[in-house]
Structure 1
């Protein structure tokens, strides 16, 4: 198919992002698009070699500025569907964060999740208006029909109470500790004083959550509790909960599938409270040790605020017995408003809206002559690109492993995904899709000797079954 468009979808965190991007990829594939899922850490090798019409990035930040420039120099359209689409404390903060990150002038498409982000991006001039689209995020399509039926069932006792934690800054899985996390916050554009204060307050919140978990396990020995750490948290730090027979700590699977099987959600400043709202699972927010620096506005607004340990214990009992007091009308109004502001709609159609935006961007660019000066990579970016091209993937990776940090290598390993994992998601989606079409996945190994030498072999292509 000579006119077939090719789109590369960058997968940041498979635990969080893979299912939504597989759904988006399938939607594109049903329209005749060649779709390749690319691990975030392999994109510098694979995307330039594959030369797609468009690459959909997981974000634009200073750390991927050279990659964006590399793609533009190769004539590849660059879009963004930000996996931190409600990052920051509000839409204005998020718009400013993205604007300050740079590279937005090089983008051809930016998909924000909701109407509030779109308005904030326009207000702050974050990206040109003509490339900005409010689409929602495909991973939340699984909160609505028909895709909710495609969610897998967690391997846990039925009727559990779920606790979701959000403490990667003080309980990191990938970095060397809070000092590194302070630098990450500073590099994102915040002050060092603010970053240090966040770490102090987050450490207290982490300890308070762990202590509260123990008290719940002891108070309700016949209730099954599941604590699910943030994907970037160190799961071993919760080993103390292992002494309780009614408590388990699990990190596999998506937050949506775990919430879907839960009776209640307990959290503090975790955006999964919004997913719980979407799935009609009541979110309870531990507010008695919350702080302004930690508070995630939308997560707090959709939740029932709980002011003390005793109040939480009482609400859990009421929730399990089906006699929880009605939600305040103000909270109900906020839930409706936040759905529109932050997610456009919870209608199972975000993947369709993103696919529409991608194909319209490709169609608008087709046949146009590129004008203007090509963006120049940094000296480090040029050296990396030249090394990859000259030595190939295996040799350049060996140099990277020898000279790079163990932390980055761990991140790379944790963010890999397999043919079997993607295939399992596709099977669940195919089983509930109304179109009756079936897809499978295969490794991209390159159809020439040069391509086989430069690509990672970790990217996967979606193929329709004949």
Structure 2
């Protein structure tokens, strides 16, 4: 390309997404792309100010429809790499949800994780075929070489038994409580009756998991256990486990780095079970208190099902002694199939595939006259954009903190990321890479007075360290 293209990557949940997007950003940067990592909650300021060639969003839903329209009206290409993916959910339902609740008609690129998603999107006409690509998700590149060597090492050592929980709806970290979570489920396109049922059943599952954790700690006093709550869960609700000297509750780091050093994974309806199979760590699913409303089908199918408390204790003992029997052939076959269906491949190359289609999208759009009028943002969206442009970041942020939702402020703070955090990830990736190149990171503060007032200061740009 004659000019250096600029791509903004939207980071939703740093705990989950940052490492994969840094890997993708580095891949793009090796090809001469200017790459900016943008916190999700700051994109309304930074993306319009930076005017990239393309912005790669974390999803398309009703809550970012106005932003998508604004980007498109500014001449910015819009792509999606849905970092929540559908690791375990039904591909058909996901395709219909995106078509109904998103803004697929405004997109220039959509990257799905696997072949099942791609087939479902094509079947339902969710997005045009020419912008749809099965790429895999870059964060799963760390399950394969050479990037597995770039995983950080948890401070608790190795050979612990890991419990991953998935109860943000009844143990929320950011919202006021289950009532707010019901509204979130409804706003995502589900019925209120379904949402209420999920909350009731999830509350029982959460309590059952907490009690089972205590029993494991008591039954295996010489075994180290680590419980890792979902990033959107309230970690303090697990404080009772601190009474056990062989139990730790940790929420930092990625699920992949914790699974990588574990002996076993215990869970219920957590898609990290699929990550465990990628890393050859055996996942055990607590099925005796599972329900159809809660069940994440793929996570259950790749796991070894456990029918009771006593069965779990017996299987943990066998796993620690490295004498677990082989899984059923049906489970083994499903584990092989799911990689293609939901993740394309676990080959360390998803970031390459995403970078390829991002650059192709930019190249194909250059010099072309864009046809069709882009809808205007809603009245509220226009008012928000005008306020941001008029007041700048500092003043509008002060007003938001003064009059806005404390919940949103907590989310905003939790989803920020610092230079040293990204620099550490880059350092590990550089060390594992075979290309010998080194990259650094800097804050985007603007090189002009207008720009400095418009940007948040939270976005970070990758640069090659010469």
Shorter-chain-normalised TM-score: which range?
over 0.9
Residues 404 and 88 from structure 1, CA distance in 2 versus in 1: closer, same or farther, beyond 3 angstroms? farther
Provide structure 1 residue ranges, at least 5 long, that are not aligned to the other structure. Answer: none
**SS at the partner of 1:78?**
strand
How far did 1:158 drift? 2.4
User: What SS does structure 2 have at the residue aligned with 1:436?
Assistant: coil
Query: Which residue does 1:325 correspond to in 2?
Result: 325
**CA offset at residue 264 of structure 1?**
0.1
For 2:55 and 2:137, the matched residues in 1 are separated by 17
Distance, in Å, in 2 between the alignment partners of 1:55 and 1:176 is 31
1:172 alignment counterpart? 172
Pairing of 1:177-216 with structure 2 (within 5 A): 177-216=177-216
Distance (Å, rounded) in 1 between the aligned partners of 2:465 and 2:273? 38
Partner of 1:311: 311
Aligned to 1:271: 271
SS at match of 2:84: coil
Matches within 5 A, 1:190-339: 190-339=190-339
SS of 2:22 mapped into structure 1? helix
Separation in 2, partners of 1:23, 1:83: 14
CA distance, structure 2, for counterparts of residue 65 and residue 398 of structure 1: 25
Residue 42 (structure 1) aligns with: 42
> 4+ residue runs of structure 1 moved beyond 6 angstroms?
none
Instruction: State how far apart, in whole Å, the 2-side matches of 1:306 and 1:211 are.
Output: 16
Superposition RMSD in Å:
0.9
- Per-residue displacement from partner, 1:223-276 (whole Å, max 9, x unpaired)? 000000000000000000000000000000000000001000000000000000
Residue equivalent to 2:64: 64
Which SS does the other structure have where 1:283 is aligned?
Answer: strand
Alignment size in residue pairs = 466
Name stretches of at least 5 consecutive residues in structure 2 with no aligned partner. Answer: none
Deviations 1:192-233 (A, max 9, x none): 000000000000000000000000000000000000000000
CA contact (8 A) 1:444 1:459 kept: yes
Q: 1: distance between equivalents of 2:396 and 2:74?
A: 20
Give the equivalent residue in structure 1 for 2:389: 389
What SS does the aligned partner of 2:55 have? Answer: strand
1:343 equivalent to 2:346? Answer no
What secondary structure is seen at the aligned counterpart in 2 of 1:127? coil
Are the aligned partners of 2:108 and 2:131 in contact in 1 as well (CA < 8 Å)? yes
Q: Is the 8 A contact 1:150 1:431 kept in 2?
A: yes
TM-score (norm 2): 0.99
SS at match of 2:185: helix
**Aligned twin of 2:133:** 133
CA distance in 1, matches of 2:250, 2:149: 22
Bigger CA drift: 363-372 or 86-95? 86-95
- Contact kept, 8 Å, 1:56 with 1:79, in 2: the verdict is yes
Q: Is this contact kept in 2: 1:88–1:94, CA < 8 A?
A: no
1:353-398 C-alpha deviation (Å, 9 max, x unpaired): 0000100000010001122212211011000100111111101111
Aligned to 2:33: 33
Measured after TM superposition, the shift of residue 403 of structure 1 is 2.1
Change (3 A) 1:87 1:283: closer
Structure 2 match to 1:54: 54
Q: Do the aligned partners of 1:87 and 1:94 also contact (CA within 8 Å) in 2?
A: no
Matched-pair contact (CA < 8 Å) for 1:13–1:415? yes
- TM-score, with length taken from structure 1: 0.99
Q: Give the 3-state SS of the residue equivalent to 1:368 in structure 2.
A: coil
CA distance in 2, matches of 1:240, 1:392: 45
Aligned partners of 1:72 and 1:375 also within 8 Å: no
Q: Deviations over 1:27-50 (max 9, x none)?
A: 000000000000000000000000
The Cα of 1:97 is off from its aligned counterpart by 1.2
Are the aligned partners of 2:228 and 2:251 in contact in 1 as well (CA < 8 Å)?
yes
Moved more, 95-104 or 206-215: 95-104
**1:399 Cα deviation after fit:** 1.5
Instruction: Give SS of 2:237's match.
Output: helix
1:87 deviates by: 5.9
Deviates more, 1:96-105 or 1:284-293: 96-105
CA contact (8 A) 1:315 1:324 kept: yes
> Which residue number in structure 1 is paired with residue 7 of structure 2?
7
